[in-house]
Every structure is written in C-alpha cells, then in structure tokens.
Amino acid sequence: MVFPIRSKARRILSTMAAVRPSSTCSNYRRKSSASNLTNSAEVEQGTHVELLPSVKRQPVRRLEASSDSMELAHECSNCEGENVSKANNGPDLFGEMKERFLSFKKHKFLKESEHFQTLAQAQAPKFMVIACADSRVCPSNILGFQPGEAFMIRNVANLVPPFENEASETNAALEFAVNTLEVKNILVIGHSSCAGIETLMRMQDDGDSSSLTHSWVINAKVAKLRTKAVAPHLSFDQQCRHCEKESINSSLLNLRTYPWIEDRAKKEMLSLHGGYYDFLRCTFEKWTLDMNGIRPVGGGRYLDKDRELWG
C-alpha cells in the first residue's frame, strides 16, 4: 500500500545501533569441570583485531580448546542445528538464500567488478522508488532495477512512522534522495489486491484510532473519499482497485507540497511518476504527473501525461 505523504520534512540525524545476536543451547550437560573451562580463558595482551582506522583496538580473549569445552561447543552446535531444522519445518530456507547469493556473486558481482568497485565509492541513482511493503511486489524483480540504479523505500507499518509524523524515515529518505543524491525521477508504485487498501475501504470512520493498522492506512483516507465520490456504483472489489490507484495519485500530489521537491520539479530537474502493478495479469501501468496542470482542490482531479500500459 502506498500512502499520501506529509507536506513537511525535517532533516533528521539518525543513529544506527549494532546489536550483536546471541545464541543459546538449552539442553546441554553441565559438567563438574566447568571451573576448568573458566580457568582456561586467557587474555592475550599482544594480539589485536584490526577493524576500522577510527575504531580503538581491543584485546582478543582466546579460549583454549580443552576436551570439555569442545564437547560443550559440539553439543550447542547440534542443538542449534536441530532448532533451525525444526523452525524451518521443511527446506533449508537460508541454504536456498545462500545459493542465490553465491549465484549473484558469480554471475553478477565478479563479472561486473569494476561497476561494483565504483558503487563502493559513491552512488548516483536515477530513481527514488516508493513501493508497498507487500512481499509480492518487489520493484527490483518486476522492473529489473540494477544495483545502484534506484534508491528504494518500502512502507512498513511497524518500522516506518506514519507520514503524518514529520520526522519519519520516509521523509528523511525523500530529503536525502532529492537534495543530496539529486535523483531525477520519483516513482510511487501501488499494486492489485492490496490488503492495506481493502482494510481502509472496510474501515469505519470511528474505528479504533489506537490500532497501529488504523494509524497506518488512515493516511490514504482522501483516496477512499474520492473513490466513494466518483465510483459509488462499482462493486466493493472494483472500488478497491480504483482506490489503489487513487492512493498513488494522492501521494504524487502530496509530494508537490515539499518545497524542495516542488522547486526542482518546476525547474524540470525532477519528474514525479505513478506506477500500478497488477500481479494477477502481470501488467504495469505507468504515468507521469503533469507539473503544469492545476492542482486539484477538494474533489478535483489531477492531470497526468505519458500514460502507458506494459504487458
């Protein structure tokens, strides 16, 4: 689901915290020689690990390989392997992911090593893509974006604050892509059978405002009102399809309320595009917002151009 975007944005300084995952083994035997395991841990003062130039070196703690510690590690390893197998309850999902990654490295990365070395220094994407969090809609897959070609964000309810929050991750990404990376195109993509739009269309106006889902989808309320106004005779499913596209239009129009987007668009340094992916028929509808058109007021309509249907 693609939602309308808030009119203002503030520059945010974000801090990333690295969290070290830990693994435990619940079914291992505790032995009387646990004290030996503790005593065998030695700090080797002369050994250091080189991380980054700006990171202070720290001593490395080495664990001597006693028979008890090796047996304990072996038991934990078996326990973890069994837990992963049970959790998957079927094929090795990460094994498949590993094979896809190695295939990418062999057939893409190594064959285009010069390109990836250039990307390691800087990025200059042609597109900023705003797409739905739906697992069935991956812009890289359906549109064939190559590494470094598109700066993408996905609307995820529990990770991205609602667009009404000025200090949202989405607003920060927009500011960075437009002002710093100077992308030439913003593409907002919606899709068929959108669960978010269906939830919005079924939602009562006095729904539970404390619900995270309600707070997420209510951002597209204008699209729902326009759909009800222009397509009251359509079935519920048809209204949902209409609202899916209307929500894209609302986002495109609201993008123009960002002063720095509007300014670059008027100077023809930036274009705003809409896209609608029908994954049942495998078609993609694309259009461009007419920057010279009159901005709709109330129930008015926006103007578009260069509308195409692929597939």
User: Is 281 part of any domain?
Assistant: yes
* pLDDT at 76 > cutoff 60: no
What percentage of the chain exceeds 70 in pLDDT? 62
User: Is 167 part of any domain?
Assistant: yes
User: Is 116 part of any domain?
Assistant: no
- What's the total number of domains in the chain? 1
pLDDT of residue 206: 65
Q: What is the mean pLDDT of residues 250-263?
A: 89
User: Is 190 part of any domain?
Assistant: yes
Output the CA torsion sign for 254, 258, 261, 265.
positive
The CATH number of the domain holding residue 203 is 3.40.1050.10
- pLDDT, one tens digit per residue, over 12-31 is 333 333 333 444 434 433 43
- Claim: this prediction has a pTM higher than 0.85: no
pLDDT of residue 176: 95
Query: Is 304 flagged in the annotation as binding?
Result: no
pLDDT of residue 47: 35
pLDDT of residue 3: 60
pLDDT of residue 172: 87
Is the Cβ–Cβ distance between 177 and 241 less than 8 Å?
Answer: no
Query: Is 194 flagged in the annotation as binding?
Result: yes
User: Is 56 part of any domain?
Assistant: no
Q: What is the mean pLDDT of residues 43-47?
A: 36
pLDDT of residue 293: 65
Domain that holds residue 176: 124-310
Task: Give the amino acid at 87.
Answer: A
User: Is 101 part of any domain?
Assistant: no
User: Is 299 part of any domain?
Assistant: yes
pLDDT of residue 83: 53
- List the single range of 36-45, 70-79, 123-132, 155-164 with lowest mean pLDDT: 36-45
Q: How far apart are the first and last CA of the chain?
A: 22
- pLDDT, one tens digit per residue, over 80-110 is 555 544 455 668 999 999 999 999 999 999 9
User: Is 288 part of any domain?
Assistant: yes
Query: Is 242 flagged in the annotation as binding?
Result: no
Residue 49's pLDDT band, with cuts at 50, 70 and 90, is: very low
pLDDT of residue 24: 40
* pLDDT at 153 > cutoff 50: yes
- pLDDT, one tens digit per residue, over 197-236 is 999 999 887 667 677 777 778 878 889 999 999 999 999 9
Query: Is 240 flagged in the annotation as binding?
Result: no
200-230 burial, b at 16+ Cβ within 10 Å, e below that, comes to: bbebeeeeeeeeebebbbbbbbbbbebbeee
**222 vs 240, higher pLDDT:** 240
